[in-house]
């Protein structure tokens, strides 16, 4: 719903048109009785318009998403020409404090939406967020990275049957748009149930800040804000040089041996069937297993772990693509 009235009520506080406010989303305490607060940064233009919600840190160890939203605030891109921009750089503050993906009880915040009022700590956060903040949004952009030392190419994930999201993904213009069905109990699935368009950005890996990935995220936000007529006239997005590569289907290439992993190709590369991707060796110089591409496609995820077990995912490879730019390599 667009906020066309004078006042926005969020977390029990009133924010007027033209007003800036930071409201602390407070719901729990540490063992030391110290309050744990999630800053919610709200910027409203004097002119009514759509409300855009930007979130990072749903997984506490995914630093790129935090940095993308931080830069939007630091550069004052979040001050809109019209409407409202709400920024939450760190939604899972518990995981961020511990540099861990999940909450202290081991729950993944992105697997408990829309949450319950009396459930686990993660479920309670999801509940209050879904009840008190999310309904105010007309559009959401949520920023993630790969986990478990797996590096994701910069990509937007959308449901293939959602035409509006596919169009917005093209506006965002990450190197890849990946068709991905919604999983139950995720933030994205809750947005879908509430009929709120949500772009899910993935890029880089956990516990790492990658300037190239962050740049892709910031530039994508600029393009979407500009498309929605919200972007302040002080800013202008870079002109996209090419359209995203649309990945309709993909597969995981898994380790056929356990051992030391030696990756020989970068993420984002276009490879041919049979192309050399990596070797797996034992620690004793007796075994050397060659990993090759099972089909032509783009590498959109690479496992950076130095050792792997048999069956571990080591590459994510597209199997069906719609590439308007041809089979060229895409710089990370």
CATH number of the domain that residue 134 is part of? 3.40.630.10
Q: Who has greater pLDDT, 240 or 40?
A: 40
Distance of CA 247 to the CA centre of its chain: 17
Domain termination residue (choose one: 196, 227, 258): 227
What is the number of other CB atoms lying within 10 angstroms of the CB of residue 257? 18
Looking at the structure, do residues 213 and 113 belong to the same domain, yes or no? yes
Looking at the structure, do residues 255 and 196 belong to the same domain, yes or no? no
Mean pLDDT of all residues in 75-100 = 97
Looking at the structure, do residues 194 and 140 belong to the same domain, yes or no? yes
Q: Is residue 245 part of a domain?
A: no
Looking at the structure, do residues 180 and 254 belong to the same domain, yes or no? no
pLDDT tens digits, 174-196: 999 999 999 999 999 999 999 99
* pLDDT given for residue 26 in this prediction: 86
CA angle 227, 155, 162 (to 5 degrees): 60
pLDDT tens digits, 251-271: 999 999 999 999 999 999 999
Cβ atoms of 74 and 33 within 8 Å: the answer is: no
Q: Using omega within 30 degrees of 0 as the cis cutoff, is the peptide bond preceding 3 cis?
A: no
Q: Is residue 243 part of a domain?
A: no
Looking at the structure, do residues 208 and 262 belong to the same domain, yes or no? no
Range of the domain at 95: 7-227
Looking at the structure, do residues 302 and 218 belong to the same domain, yes or no? no
Q: Is residue 244 part of a domain?
A: no
With a cut of 60, say whether residue 273 has pLDDT above it.
yes
What is the number of other CB atoms lying within 10 angstroms of the CB of residue 137? 23
Looking at the structure, do residues 221 and 270 belong to the same domain, yes or no? no
Looking at the structure, do residues 123 and 193 belong to the same domain, yes or no? yes
Looking at the structure, do residues 163 and 287 belong to the same domain, yes or no? no
Looking at the structure, do residues 180 and 295 belong to the same domain, yes or no? no
Give how many domains the chain has, as a whole number.
2
Q: Is residue 265 part of a domain?
A: yes
Over the chain, what is the mean pLDDT? 93
| CATH (domain of 270) | 2.40.50.100
* pLDDT given for residue 27 in this prediction: 78
Q: Is residue 15 part of a domain?
A: yes
- Distance (Å, rounded) from C-alpha 144 to C-alpha 112? 17
Q: Is residue 32 part of a domain?
A: yes
- Distance (Å, rounded) from C-alpha 153 to C-alpha 221? 17
Pick the range with the lowest mean pLDDT from 17-21, 86-90, 180-184.
Answer: 180-184
Q: Is residue 237 part of a domain?
A: no
Give the HSE-up count for residue 291: Cα atoms under 13 Å, Cβ half-sphere: 30
Contacts of residue 118, Cβ cutoff 8 Å, sequence gap at least 6: 124
């Amino acid at each position: 719903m667009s906020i066309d009235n004078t006042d926005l009520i969020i977390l029990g506080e009133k924010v007027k048109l033209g007003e800036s406010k930071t409201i602390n989303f407070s719901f729990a305490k540490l063992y030391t009785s110290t309050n744990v607060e999630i800053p919610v940064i709200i910027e409203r233009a004097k002119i009514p318009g759509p409300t855009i919600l930007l979130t990072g840190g749903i997984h506490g160890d995914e630093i790129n998403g935090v940095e993308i939203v931080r830069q939007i605030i630091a550069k004052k891109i979040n001050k809109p020409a019209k409407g409202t921009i709400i920024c939450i750089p760190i939604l899972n503050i518990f995981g961020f404090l511990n540099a861990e993906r999940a909450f202290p009880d081991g729950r993944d915040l992105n697997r408990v939406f829309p949450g319950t009022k009396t459930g686990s700590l993660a479920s309670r956060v999801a509940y209050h967020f879904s009840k008190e903040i999310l309904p105010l949004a007309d559009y959401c952009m949520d920023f993630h990275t790969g986990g478990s030392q797996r590096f994701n190419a910069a990509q937007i994930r959308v449901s293939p049957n959602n035409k509006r999201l596919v169009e917005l993904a093209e506006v965002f213009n990450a190197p890849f748009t990946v068709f991905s069905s919604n999983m139950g109990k995720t933030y994205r699935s809750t947005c879908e149930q509430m009929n709120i368009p949500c772009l899910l950005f993935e890029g880089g890996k956990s516990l790492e800040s990658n300037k190239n990935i962050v740049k892709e995220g910031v530039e994508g936000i600029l393009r979407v804000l500009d498309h929605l007529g919200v972007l302040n006239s002080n800013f202008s997005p870079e002109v996209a040089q090419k359209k995203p590569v649309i990945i309709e289907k993909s597969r995981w290439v898994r380790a056929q041996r356990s051992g030391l992993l030696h990756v020989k190709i970068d993420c984002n590369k276009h490879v041919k069937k049979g192309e050399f991707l990596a070797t797996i060796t034992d620690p004793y110089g007796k075994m050397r297993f060659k990993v090759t591409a099972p089909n032509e496609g783009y590498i959109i995820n690479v496992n950076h772990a130095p050792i792997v077990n048999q069956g571990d995912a080591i590459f994510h490879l597209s199997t069906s693509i719609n590439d308007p730019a041809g089979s060229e390599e895409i710089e990370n």
